[in-house]
Structure 1
């Protein structure tokens, strides 16, 4: 009897450990996407707004109006290096990563890297919620606080 109880308790403990360590669904209900689906060349084909009026956000990523990112090209390598180029010709080197433990689920995050910078020394960065990514199309959302609620700037990408 004592041995059976010991086996049952061991099985329960292992079950809890496996459940606690397994990948959780994001708060949005979207499964975490593997890093490989983010790599490649992406083009922003649309910028829309959820819970915001279009001109409520004057600057995205301290660079330009969100609408200026339509048509921009984002090149993301597996090493984390990347660059985005706006249609105006402005380019910015970035270092990107994925945070699977964000408060709102999986987050795409990046830091701007300027000449002479090392990514590990750059403190400021940007986080976007991963709404979807099937490897060919991707939707990322930037949360924007509005009083007691949150609106979103929504960036839709297609892979080139």
Structure 2
């Protein structure tokens, strides 16, 4: 009787772990490729906001940026256009898709150099995956401004 209960528990744990792994794999496959970040917006508070995203550049610099995700080695890059107010060029990152403690999926990434060495001192970013299809993706990050929560919304279109 004990062996049957223990065996049943082990089998059910195996099925649960495989199903979440499969869901993560499917999302990784959807991420793979080139995306254009066509809109950055803010939700949660009225007014107009300006923000420095990913400790890199202003939100305006990110609109129109090109993002590439390679799923076979979990690396990628985003490219900002060079303008008078934006320092353009490629930024490289290592990325993954995770399930957080609340059961939702997130994209996490951290900065690396061209040789795939960590340049972020272990610091990275997590964005909630609110929508992901073969052609579009919406990510959100939660921040606080003057003690009030705000969500930064990133809308992508796949190339």
In the superposition, the TM-score normalised over structure 1's length comes to: 0.74
Structure 1 match to 2:77: 83
Structure 1 match to 2:152: 153
In the superposition, the TM-score normalised over structure 2's length comes to: 0.74
Q: Deviations over 1:47-89 (max 9, x none)?
A: 1211034544521111222232111110111222211112336
Gaps of 5+ in 1: 25-30
Change (3 A) 1:83 1:21: closer
Mapped pair 1:95 → 2:93: yes
User: How far is the alpha carbon of 1:129 from its aligned partner?
Assistant: 0.8
Q: Which has the larger strand fraction?
A: 2
**RMSD of the TM alignment (CA)?**
3.0
Is contact 2:81–2:89 with CA below 8 Å preserved after alignment?
Answer: no
Mapped pair 1:39 → 2:32: yes
2:9 pairs with one of 10, 13, 20: 13
Change (3 A) 1:145 1:158: same
Is contact 2:110–2:120 with CA below 8 Å preserved after alignment?
Answer: no
User: How far is the alpha carbon of 1:116 from its aligned partner?
Assistant: 6.0
> Rg larger in 1 or in 2?
1
**What is the aligned residue count?**
150
Is contact 1:109–1:126 with CA below 8 Å preserved after alignment?
Answer: yes
Partner Cα separation in structure 2 for residue 127 and residue 71 of structure 1? 21
1:60 pairs with one of 49, 53, 56: 53
Change (3 A) 1:49 1:95: same
